[in-house]
Amino acid sequence: MPYPKIIAVIFASFLMLLPLSEPLVAQNDEYRIARLQYRGGGDWYNDPSSLTNLIRFARQHIPINLSEQYDDVAIGSRDIHRYPFLFMTGHGNVVVNQAEAQNIREYVDNGGFLYIDDDYGFDPYVREILSIIFPDDELIELPINHPIYNQVFEFPDGLPKIHEHDGLPPQGFGIFRNGRLGVYYTYESNLADGWAYDVHNNPEEITQKALRMGVNLLVYAFTSYR
């Protein structure tokens, strides 16, 4: 399915990612994304097929040579600087020390994009660690007309609802650094469960919404580096 309005932009913009402080992970000219491994007891590893399925869907819809594999990388490792997109999820506690906080802050300031998905019960821990990592920045709700909601697929009502959880409306929050959205956090939506369609028995319409929003996240991450 072609999307002419973004094809040329994606190729040109993706090349701009190269000035990151470390070289991006690339094998045979393929680029990788990563899942963030953290301390504290939260299940960072849950639904391992989420990113695999999202990557497969993305490779069918956007003209970027994205690896079929993703990596797990520790929150305190300098290796995070090799990836344009980091994914973080879980249900439980997260602990970060000052070195880890600085590492994530530098990653975002160097052009990386951190996506955090609340897989239910994650919210208080996410907000706490973000206040540690970005003490001077506010976590703000994005308006439904933010570009992240219309990169490739149109979401005129903003973030889609994937899992019911507490039955609250889905919300997408962001942290901006130097005028750029570097952290995106989804609450009461749970896109990643929609990506893990081989585990969760979601209707096809819901699965497609989750995957399409995931593609928007990847494209935004790949094209928003400054």
Query: Could you tell me the CATH number of the domain that includes residue 104?
Result: 3.40.50.12140
Of 217, 207, 197, residue with least CA distance to 148:
217
- HSE, side-chain direction, 13 A CA sphere, residue 57: 25
* pLDDT (mean) for 26-30: 63
Q: Is the pTM of this model over 0.75?
A: yes
pLDDT at 21 over 80: no
pLDDT digits (tens, 9 = 90+) for 42-68: 889 988 899 999 999 999 999 988 999
Cα–Cα distance, 50 to 53 (Å, whole number): 5
For the chain, what is the mean pLDDT? Answer: 88
Residue span of the structural domain in which 170 resides: 4-223
pLDDT at 1 over 50: no
pLDDT digits (tens, 9 = 90+) for 149-207: 999 999 999 999 998 888 899 999 999 999 999 999 999 999 999 999 877 788 999 99
Q: Which residues pair with 85 in a beta bridge?
A: 113
107-125 b/e with 16+ CB inside 10 Å = b?
A: bbebbbbbbbbbbeebeeb
**Helix, strand, coil percent content, the chain, rounded in steps of 5:** 35, 20, 45
Q: Which residues pair with 35 in a beta bridge?
A: 72, 87
Phi, psi at 100, each rounded to 5°: -70, -40
Provide the domain count of the chain: 1
